[in-house]
């Protein structure tokens, strides 16, 4: 829970991966509907940068994704969460977790991050 996705930064997103996350889903308001005007736009740029970093270091860019939703779209949120979880399950455990000899971290849990 953040006041706005505009609060999240690249270091924290990467920290989640260091911490063993197999995927990180960032969910913000619809573009144009940010409660703080432009927070989600800035978040999008930061997610994009992390995406590029993950690609460069071969963790896999598709382990991070930003979604935009309105507060009234509970079912859509569920659909997105499932979609993302499926995507992560398909990708399998992150190379970090593999290197740690695990892969134990169930991807299913990502939806709360």
Positions in the binding site for other proteins (CB under 8 A): 1-4, 6-12, 14-21, 34-39, 42, 46, 53, 56-59, 72, 78, 94-96, 98-100, 105, 109, 112-113
> CB of residue 18 vs other proteins: minimum separation in angstroms?
6
> CB of residue 90 vs other proteins: minimum separation in angstroms?
18
Between residues 29 and 65, which has the closer beta carbon with respect to other proteins?
29
Q: How far apart are CA 58 and CA 88, in angstroms?
A: 15
Residues 6+ apart with CB under 8 A from 107: 22, 23, 85, 88, 89, 93
Helix H segments across the chain? 10-18, 39-56, 74-91, 95-99
Between residues 87 and 95, which has the closer beta carbon with respect to other proteins?
95
- Tokens at 2, concatenated: 């953040």
Between residues 38 and 76, which has the closer beta carbon with respect to other proteins?
38
């Amino acid at each position: 829970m953040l006041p706005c996705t505009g609060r999240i930064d690249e270091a924290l997103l990467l920290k989640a991966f260091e911490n063993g996350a197999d995927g990180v889903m960032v969910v913000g308001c619809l573009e144009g509907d940010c409660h703080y005007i432009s927070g989600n736009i800035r978040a999008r740029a930061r997610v994009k940068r992390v995406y590029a970093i993950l690609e460069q270091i071969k963790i896999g860019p598709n382990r991070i994704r930003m979604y935009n939703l309105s507060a009234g779209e509970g079912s859509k949120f569920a659909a997105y969460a499932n979609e993302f979880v499926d995507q992560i399950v398909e990708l399998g455990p992150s190379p970090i977790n593999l290197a740690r000899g695990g892969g134990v971290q169930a991807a299913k849990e990502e939806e709360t991050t």
